[in-house]
Amino acid sequence: MWGGRFSSGPDAIMEEINASIDFDKALYRQDIAASKAHADMLAKQGIIAADDATSIARGLDTILSEIEGGKFTFQRALEDIHMNVESRLTELIGPAAGRLHTARSRNDQVATDFRLWMRDTIDTLDAALAGYQKALAEKALEHADTVMPGFTHLQTAQPVTFGHHLLAYVEMAARDRGRFADARKRLNESPLGSGALAGTSFDLDREMTAKALGFTRPTANSLDAVSDRDFVMETLAAAAIASVHLSRLAEEIVIWTSPLVGLVKLSDKFTTGSSMMPQKRNPDAAELVRAKTGRIIGALTGILVVMKGLPLAYAKDMQEDKEGAMDALSALSLAVAAMAGMVTDLTPDTAKMRKAAGEGYATATDLADWLVRALKLPFREAHHVTGRIVAKASEQGVPLHRLPLAAMQAIEPRITDDVFSVLSVDRSVKSRVSYGGTAPKNVRAQAKRWLKRLDQER
């Protein structure tokens, strides 16, 4: 591979640490596409003969068919996907294959291939996240009126609807998709033609190859083009945030499906049993989604640490950019699919949700708001009065809507029986009509808006 500079082959350990074919063979489709675009451009510029370019294209098509048909033998001695493809191309078309590497380096080649792979992966993830959003929005529309407890500090706070709760994750996924879209936009520049680090003396048409590969433009600085990996960091940052969002819902599913809570159930499709305890139904899919977040965050940390001390331009350290990223984005893709499946599968126990929504004096804020509206109390005073009324209800062991009016009037004489119009959980959620609030009519409108938007994206 190294021509006349080296007189002997590498040590076995050197070969082992240096090879990347075990993971970068995943770039074969992108590598072949970039090579075809490069050969076409070289012929158009008169740098190689048109006949050679035709032979190269045919040979590359053959290699693509061989790989996709499982008939291609990857050789670790050839280190990476680039040399494996080039070696097989030489076997197929002879010396003309050697002209393909004119005016390019493996440095700009791998940077191009990985950007193309990352772009394809982002597109796949975006579609998966859209499917997850749709599953959430459909379930939210179905349960726009289903009352459940809303929590802060994992303590009952105020009644909300199950649909409203699910729509919160639709919004999170929308921001996740936006981050991926931003990363895609920034990475969509072509490094091809930057050479090893300084560009090339050949008269290339880099706009041509950029356009052929679907890039917006060629990169403007050859040093940056071959040594930049912030497109990996940015994509993994988006992936890490998305995985945290998935993990939060996964954690809720784990809590909600516990017999101690019992707010939702998952079917056999997304649960497993125990090897010892026959009664168990474990939410393993949710737990694994929660766990995969660690792998994804770890991959982000890994690439940040790899890149933090590297001077310009390329260094072999950058070979470590791919394996962790590929693993992380594969894990995220699987997690998104699992979460979409669980959302579709889960069944809420609506009666238990409603009962839980009324516990813990969840309508206390509604009482305080009523005191402000009806009696014109300053909110801080209303908050104090409500606290005393809650204490009285707790002392008597009754919910707020069962506390006698006389007991309330003993604390605030001006309270009338109209107060009971706001103390039920149903009236509470229906009253939250501010934009973004949990009122069922809001939830229905937002769910329908999301479903329409997602359908239009197709």
- Return the DSSP state at 159: E
Tokens of 296: 């994804």
Q: Which has the closest alpha carbon to 326: 125, 107, 82?
A: 125
- Collect all residues with Cβ–Cβ distance below 8 Å to 8 and sequence separation of at least 6: none
Tokens of 368: 């305080």
> For residues 406 and 383, what is the distance between their CA atoms, to the nearest angstrom?
19
Cis peptide before 313 (omega within 30 of 0): yes
- Collect all residues with Cβ–Cβ distance below 8 Å to 75 and sequence separation of at least 6: 21, 84, 87
> For residues 310 and 217, what is the distance between their CA atoms, to the nearest angstrom?
26
Q: Which has the closest alpha carbon to 120: 207, 195, 28, 196?
A: 28
> Does the active-site annotation cover 274?
yes
Cis peptide before 239 (omega within 30 of 0): no
In our burial notation (b when 16+ CB lie closer than 10 A, e otherwise), range 40-55 reads: bbbbeeebbeeebbeb
Contact status, residue 285 vs residue 253, Cβ threshold 8 Å: no
Given the residues 65, 258, 267, 274, the one annotated as active site: 274
> Does the active-site annotation cover 421?
no
Given the residues 153, 201, 275, 434, the one annotated as active site: 153
What residues are labeled active site? 153, 274
